[in-house]
Amino acid sequence: MRFRIVSLGCPKNLVESEYISERLVRAGHILSDDCDTVVINTCAFIVDAVKESVETILQEAGRGGKKVVVTGCLVERYGEKLIGLLPEVDLFVGRNWYDDIDPLIEKKGFFVREGSFAETFPRKVLTKKPTAYLKIQEGCDNRCSYCTVPDIRGGLRSRGPEDIKKEFQWLIENGYREINIIGQDITSYGKHSGTTLKGLLQVLLETEGDYFLRLLYMHPKGIDDELIDLIARSDKVIPYMDIPIQHSEDRILKLMGRGYKKENLESLFEKIGEKVPDAVLRTTVIVGFPGETEEEFRGLMDFIGRQKFHMLGAFMYSREEGTPAYRLRGHIKKGVKQARYNAVMEMQREISREHLKRLAGRTMKVVVEGKEGASMVGRLLIQAPDIDGIAFIRGGCTAGEIRDGKIVKTLDYDVIVEV
């Protein structure tokens, strides 16, 4: 069989797509764009992700002549309903079948089973060097009121430190130098087994070599002094702190089930500023949560304006069936949510421009990703792959390198560098 894999959604899904690819290649199948089978690994955590997944399935099925296999979160969330809704699909495979996907791939039907899938190694890395993801956990115990992830992916399960270290060393040995550590909430790593994220990092940092670690998806209430100190001390951990706050106002945070207050956020960011003065802060916020008043939205805008996050992503609240927030009163009209989203992103555009202006003339590490048209492009090492800005690169360089580059011009979210 010749197969192609389409991975939708987050990097956690991408790692699972890499695991599926490895299982199929080891079974003798061939990964190729010229294929007879397309595997679509879907996302379904909000309505827009579900729509994208369904549209992708219909698009691939509409091309004809190929077997269509659907895996991932859409299968877990909607189960056997999909059989009638998507007759174009030949095979549905639940996440807990990935270990045994190779004998299933030539069958037709629906395969979902109970279990606790967490393994993702060995895998066939689909990102381009020098960048790779390293998934350290599965599921989540936080149960935020708006979130479907625990129902789709289950509760928290952490991989063992030595198991993760083995995969980490394999990545380094195979030329991956920018390793992005991911999970639903990596600060909860090891909660049920007596280990911690700091402990895991200490194990990984015993590895010799020329590499950098980035920590993605850290819950505010899980960041303690010891973790901040480790980031401050290490020259291998990128001082990039991805801390989704979701909101700043106490009543909304309580309704969301986030487990902290505005004063906790202010104290945390003040501490990070003191201990890691070169920290790059990224966050996400949700606008238009049920019952969010104009005053509370202005409070969020004021908080963003004072904290001046280097990077920020905003989402309009998505009403998801089965979540506690679905039943809340005061759901906000789409037009109001859109206006609030626009206001947040316009403010962030100005903040981002201010931050980048301060970098003009500095020499910084640049990840060279490849060619776009006639130009080489990449990003600053302090920018995460896929979600942050772009660096347009002048000078001789090769895709896969991490080079020193002088920032010669800054834009709203992007920079021009000379290597």
Q: Are 44 and 152 in contact (CB under 8 A)?
A: yes
Query: For tokens 């908080």, what's the residue?
Result: 303
Beta bridge partners of 31: 3
Domains of the chain: 2-111 (3.40.50.12160), 131-357 (3.80.30.20), 363-418 (2.40.50.140)
Among residues 313, 305, 315, 312, the alpha carbon closest in space to that of 340 is found at 315
pLDDT confidence band for 374 (50 / 70 / 90): confident
- What pTM was estimated for this model as a whole? 0.94
- Write down the pLDDT at residue 119: 75
Among residues 400, 384, 392, the alpha carbon closest in space to that of 419 is found at 392
pLDDT confidence band for 118 (50 / 70 / 90): low
Q: Could you read off the pLDDT of 198-209 as tens digits, one per residue?
A: 999 999 999 999
pLDDT confidence band for 120 (50 / 70 / 90): confident
Q: Which two tokens stand for residue 168?
A: 């980490």
- Write down the pLDDT at residue 14: 97
As a whole number, the mean pLDDT across the chain is 96
Among residues 69, 2, 1, 63, the alpha carbon closest in space to that of 35 is found at 2
Q: Are 413 and 349 in contact (CB under 8 A)?
A: yes
pLDDT over 90 (residue 416)? yes
Q: Give the pLDDT mean for 382-407.
A: 95
The identity of residue 237, as a single letter, is V
The SS3 of residue 314 is: strand
- Write down the pLDDT at residue 188: 97
